C-alpha cells in the first residue's frame, strides 16, 4: 500500500523526465557486400545498377558493388504532443556498374573522379539525409533539409519507380477526407547545358513541386495513392544567353498506385504518365523518377527530351503459398512517344523470384527474368534473359522473403541480344554468361 503514497511523486518524476526519455537514438541501415567470379575468367560482370538503369532481369547475382547506408535519428524535443526530430543518413559504396570495381580490403569508397563530373559524382560516399521535422499535435509534419522523400521501389529489381529525394521542404500528413495530403518542393540539378557560361552556376537548376494524396482507402478493395510532380528548368540569365539546347517546358509526372493485401502478402499496380524532363526516367526500367529532371544537353545530344511522353504500367508483389513458398514477382510494360521518331518505343519485362524454405534458416531462391527494349532510335530489339539460383540463409521464421540478414551463394546464367546498344556482345552472348559468387544483404 506504500505504493499509493509514492504514486504522485513517481508521476511527477516521470513527467519531469519525459523530455529526457524522448531522446532515444533510432538506428537504421542497410548493406550488401560479397564477391563474384566469371566462369570464363576474371571477375563478375553486372548488367544493371541501382542508378539510372535498374536490374532489368532481377538483382539476384547481378550486384557488383559494396554498399551501405547508416541512418541515425533522434527526437530532440517532445512536449504537449508536439515534437522535433533530426535525421541523418550517410551512404558508402564502391562504384556500381557493369564492371566489378570491388578492390581489396583497404580500398577507398570515394569516387576516383571526385565531384568534377557532375552532381552525381562521388555519390558512393555521400550525405543522403540531413533534415529536421516538426511534428504538430494534429499529426501534420513540417520538414526541411535533404532527405529520401516518399521513395517507392520494386525490391527484386532495385527499381525506384517514384523517388522524391533531394534538397527541399514540405508539409506532410495533412488530414483531408479519408487520407492525407503531402506537399513538397525540392531543388534538383542537372548537368550544366551552357558550357560553363555562368561561373557561379556549375549545374542547371530545376525546382520541382511534389503533391501526394496517400491512403485513399477503398475498404476491402485496397487503397489508392496519387502523386503529381511538376518541374521546369530555372537557368540563370548567363546560362540562358549561352544556349537554347535544353528543355525549358514544364514537365508533368502523374502516378496512381493501388495496393491490396493478397495471399499472405500484397499486390501493387502502378500506372504512370510522364512528360518532358520526367519522360526518360519514367520509361522502361529507368530509375529514380523525381529525384532529377532531365533537361537534355550534355551527354544526351541537345534538347532530345523536348516533347517526350512516357507511359509505364507495373504490377508487382509478394504472395505466399503455404508455409514453405514465398513468391515475389514484377511485370512491366512501358511506352515512349519520341517527337521526330516515326515509331514508338516499347519496353517490357518480367521478373519472378520464388523461394522455397527448407527449414527455419535455409532456403533456395530462383530468379528468372526477361526484358525487351525496342527503342525508336534503334532498328533492332535489345533483349536479355537470366536464370539465377541461390542458396540463402537467414532467420526465416521472422519474415521469409523479407528476412535479413541474408547470406547467399549464387550462380547466374545470362543470355540475350545486345543489338549493339551497350557494347555487351562480348559479355552476354559468349564471354560473360555465367557468374558465381557469394553475397550478404542486411537491413535493420
Partner 1 sequence: MKECVLLLALALLSGCAMILGDVQPEIPDRDEALVRLEATAPCCQLLSELKYSVLEKGFDGRIFIDGSEPTFDFKTGRSFVKAFRIPDPRTGYGIVIESLLWNDQFFAPQLVVLNRSFQAVELIPPSAFTYMPAEGMDGDRLQYTLNLPPESGAAYLLLTTTTEALAGSTQYIHPARAYAKAQSLADPGVPDPYAQHSPVGVVELEIGGAYITPQADQKDFVESWLTSFWGTDAAETIKPSVADAEASARAVPDSSSPVIAPAAVAATATTAVAAAPAGSMLAETEALYNDMITKAVAARDIDKALKLVEEAERAGSASARPLFVEQVKTLK
**Following CA atoms 176, 179, 183, 184 in sequence, which dihedral angle do they give, to the nearest 10 degrees?**
160
Q: Does 76 bind partner 1 (CB under 8 A)?
A: no
Nearer to partner 1, 89 or 295 (CB): 89
Least distance in Å: CB of 9 to partner 1?
8
Q: Does 99 bind partner 1 (CB under 8 A)?
A: no
C-alpha cell at 32: 550488401
Least distance in Å: CB of 149 to partner 1?
8
- Residues of this chain, 36-75, that bind partner 1 according to CB under 8 A: 37, 39-41, 69, 71-72
The sign of the CA dihedral 155, 160, 164, 166 is: positive
Sketch the per residue contact string, 173 through 192, with partner 1: x for CB under 8 A, - otherwise.
--------------------
Least distance in Å: CB of 305 to partner 1?
26
- Residues of this chain, 4-33, that bind partner 1 according to CB under 8 A: 4, 6-7, 9-11, 13-14, 17, 20-21, 23-30
- Residues of this chain, 239-268, that bind partner 1 according to CB under 8 A: 257, 259, 261, 264-266, 268
Q: Does 318 bind partner 1 (CB under 8 A)?
A: yes
| φ/ψ (deg, to 5) at 33 | -160, 160
- Residues of this chain, 149-168, that bind partner 1 according to CB under 8 A: 150-153, 155, 162
Q: Does 420 bind partner 1 (CB under 8 A)?
A: no
Q: How far apart, in whole angstroms, are the C-alpha atoms of residue 306 and residue 339? A: 8
Radius of gyration (C-alpha) of the chain in whole angstroms: 24
Q: How far apart, in whole angstroms, are the C-alpha atoms of residue 429 and residue 167? A: 42
Across 196-279, where does the E strand assignment appear?
203-217, 223-231, 251-262, 265-275
H and E: helices and strands count for the chain:
3, 20
Across 148-239, where does the E strand assignment appear?
152-154, 159-162, 166-176, 179-191, 203-217, 223-231
Across 57-120, where does the E strand assignment appear?
67-79, 82-93
Least distance in Å: CB of 356 to partner 1?
13
- Residues of this chain, 132-151, that bind partner 1 according to CB under 8 A: 147-148, 150-151
- Residues of this chain, 258-317, that bind partner 1 according to CB under 8 A: 259, 261, 264-266, 268
Sketch the per residue contact string, 362 through 401, with partner 1: x for CB under 8 A, - otherwise.
x----------------------------x-x-x-xxxxx
Nearer to partner 1, 158 or 249 (CB): 158
Q: Closest by alpha carbon to 369, among 307, 309, 428? A: 428
Q: Does 2 bind partner 1 (CB under 8 A)?
A: yes
Q: How far apart, in whole angstroms, are the C-alpha atoms of residue 129 and residue 207? A: 19
Amino acid at each position: 500500500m506504500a505504493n499509493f503514497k509514492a504514486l504522485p511523486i513517481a508521476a511527477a518524476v516521470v513527467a519531469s523526465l519525459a523530455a529526457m526519455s524522448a531522446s532515444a537514438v533510432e538506428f537504421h541501415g542497410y548493406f550488401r557486400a560479397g564477391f563474384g567470379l566469371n566462369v570464363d575468367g576474371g571477375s563478375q560482370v553486372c548488367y544493371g545498377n541501382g542508378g539510372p538503369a535498374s536490374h532489368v532481369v532481377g538483382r539476384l547475382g547481378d550486384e557488383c558493388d559494396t554498399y551501405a547506408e547508416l541512418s541515425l535519428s533522434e527526437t530532440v524535443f517532445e512536449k504537449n504532443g508536439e515534437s522535433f526530430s533530426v535525421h541523418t543518413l550517410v551512404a558508402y559504396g564502391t562504384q556500381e556498374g557493369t564492371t566489378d570495381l570491388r578492390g581489396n580490403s583497404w580500398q577507398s569508397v570515394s569516387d576516383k573522379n571526385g565531384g568534377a563530373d557532375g552532381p552525381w559524382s562521388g555519390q558512393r560516399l555521400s550525405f543522403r539525409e540531413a533534415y529536421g521535422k516538426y511534428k504538430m499535435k494534429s499529426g501534420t509534419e513540417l520538414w526541411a533539409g535533404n532527405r529520401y522523400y516518399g521513395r517507392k521501389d520494386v525490391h527484386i529489381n532495385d527499381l525506384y519507380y517514384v523517388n522524391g529525394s533531394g534538397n527541399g521542404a514540405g508539409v506532410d500528413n495533412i488530414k483531408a477526407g479519408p487520407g492525407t495530403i503531402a506537399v513538397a518542393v525540392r531543388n534538383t540539378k542537372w548537368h550544366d547545358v551552357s558550357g560553363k557560361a555562368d561561373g557561379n552556376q556549375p549545374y542547371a537548376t530545376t525546382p520541382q513541386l511534389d503533391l501526394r494524396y496517400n491512403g485513399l482507402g477503398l475498404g476491402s478493395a485496397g487503397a489508392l495513392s496519387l502523386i503529381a510532380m511538376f518541374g521546369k528548368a530555372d537557368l540563370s540569365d548567363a546560362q540562358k544567353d549561352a544556349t537554347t539546347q535544353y528543355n525549358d517546358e514544364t514537365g508533368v509526372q502523374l502516378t496512381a498506385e493501388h495496393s491490396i493485401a493478397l495471399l499472405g502478402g500484397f499486390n501493387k499496380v502502378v500506372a504512370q504518365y510522364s512528360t518532358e524532363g520526367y519522360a526518360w526516367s519514367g520509361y522502361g526500367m529507368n530509375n529514380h523518377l523525381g529525384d532529377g529532371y532531365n533537361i537534355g544537353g550534355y551527354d544526351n545530344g541537345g534538347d532530345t527530351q523536348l516533347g517526350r511522353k512516357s507511359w509505364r504500367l507495373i504490377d508487382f508483389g509478394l504472395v505466399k503459398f503455404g508455409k514453405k513458398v514465398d513468391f515475389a514477382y514484377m511485370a512491366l510494360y512501358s511506352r515512349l512517344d519520341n517527337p521526330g521518331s516515326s515509331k514508338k518505343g516499347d519496353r517490357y519485362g518480367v521478373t519472378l523470384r520464388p523461394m522455397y524454405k527448407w527449414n527455419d534458416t535455409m532456403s533456395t531462391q530462383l530468379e528468372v527474368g526477361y526484358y525487351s527494349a525496342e527503342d525508336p532510335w534503334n532498328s533492332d530489339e535489345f533483349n536479355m534473359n537470366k536464370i539465377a539460383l541461390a542458396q540463402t540463409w537467414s532467420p526465416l521464421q521472422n519474415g521469409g522473403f523479407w528476412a535479413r540478414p541474408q547470406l547467399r551463394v549464387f550462380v547466374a546464367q545470362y543470355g540475350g541480344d545486345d543489338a549493339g546498344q551497350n557494347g555487351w556482345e562480348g559479355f552476354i552472348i559468349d564471354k560473360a554468361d555465367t557468374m558465381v559468387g557469394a553475397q550478404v544483404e542486411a537491413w535493420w
